[in-house]
Each structure stands twice: as C-alpha cells, then as structure tokens.
Amino acid sequence: MPRLFLAALFMAFLATSVRCQEDVLSPNIGGRKVQCSASGIPVYTDISLAIGYAAQAIIGPDGKRRIGINPGVVKPLPKSMQLFIYAHECAHHMNRDITAGMHFQHNSASVEENADRVAIRLLRDSYMLNAVQVGEIADYISTKPPISPYYLPRIQRSKWIAACYRTTDISCGGSDAHYVGIIGDQ
C-alpha cells in the first residue's frame, strides 16, 4: 500500500512539474520581460519540460507562432545565454524561416547564421545587452559542441556572434566565406 501511495504522489509531482505554461506574450527570460513579434504578428511562448531541446520555434496546430522553452535546460545557463536562446528562436520567426509546424523553409547553415545575426542585434538594440554580456554568450558557445550540423563550429559561431554585435552589415564585418565552411575548429 505505501508503494502505491508513493507512486501516485510521484505521478502527481510529474504532472505538475511538466505542465505547460502556454500563450505567454511577455515571458521572463534571463531575468527580463521579453516579447517577440514577427512583422506585427505576436509570437507566444510555451514553457514546458516536454520540449526536447533548450528551445524551438514552431507554428502550433492553431496557427499561432510560438517559442517553446524548456526551463530544465535553459534556467541553469547564464542569463545572457538564456536571452540569446530566446532571441535566436524569435529571429527564426522574424526571418519567416518556419512555414508549418517546426519545419524550416531552407534547412541550412545560412538559416542558423542569419538567426544568430538577428538575435544578437535584437539583444543589442532592443534589450541593450552590452559587450561584456555578449562576450559571455560567445564564451559559452565556444565551449559547447554544436547541437545541429547547421550551426557553425563553436569557435566560428562565437566569433560570428561577436562580429555581428559590433557591426550593422549583413556579413557582420567580413565576407560570409570567412565564417562559413571553416573546418578543423570544432
């Protein structure tokens, strides 16, 4: 009998800890209230442990644009990195990379580089992240392996993000070939 009670208690705990907070327009990410809009269309945020990654940009079955955030993965990260993850997913919506579900129009490195560029500039211009905070993001990324073959290798990605913070041009201060396809710095 006590085992059955403990099992029921554990299941109740799981049900409450995995519950999804849906339709949040201004979530608190990295200690700040943030908001994403794609050409005037609101992007909602779902906070859920059921998300397989740190975050994902999706269009839900209801047609709403959403950013899914897994707090179990995101909350332990530095606050600046939490903001970057949110801004990166927001950038996918702003760039219209998502067409239906969570499918990208073009699954390529340029899609991810563009999302990184838009994200870091969004954080710079709208959320006033300073160079030290951007350095934290770049340092964090430089120590982690890419989670997708579409991201630049970690050192190049961290350099790309720092360069995009410092510039306003689309190539982030250099030719695209300087950052894309560099091999050996994994």
Contacts of 51 (CB under 8 A, 6+ apart): 68, 69, 70
Domain of 47 in residue numbering reads as: 19-178
Determine, yes or no, domain membership for 184: no
Q: What average pLDDT does this structure show over 128-141?
A: 95
Gap between the Cα atoms of 44 and 180, Å rounded? 32
Gap between the Cα atoms of 135 and 71, Å rounded? 23
Determine, yes or no, domain membership for 73: yes
Determine, yes or no, domain membership for 70: yes
Determine, yes or no, domain membership for 186: no
Please state the pTM of the whole predicted model.
0.80
Q: What is the pLDDT of residue 3?
A: 41
* pLDDT at 179 exceeding the cut of 60: no
Q: How far is CA 186 from CA 82, 83, 142, 146, in A?
A: 23, 24, 9, 8
Determine, yes or no, domain membership for 89: yes
Determine, yes or no, domain membership for 79: yes
Determine, yes or no, domain membership for 1: no
Task: Provide the β-strand partners of residue 28.
Answer: 33
Q: What is the pLDDT of residues 50-86, one digit of tens each?
A: 887 899 998 888 889 999 999 999 999 999 999 999 9
Determine, yes or no, domain membership for 32: yes
Q: How far is CA 82 from CA 70, 128, 137, 154, 168, in A?
A: 11, 15, 9, 17, 23
Residue 141, amino acid: I
Number of domains present in the structure of the chain = 1
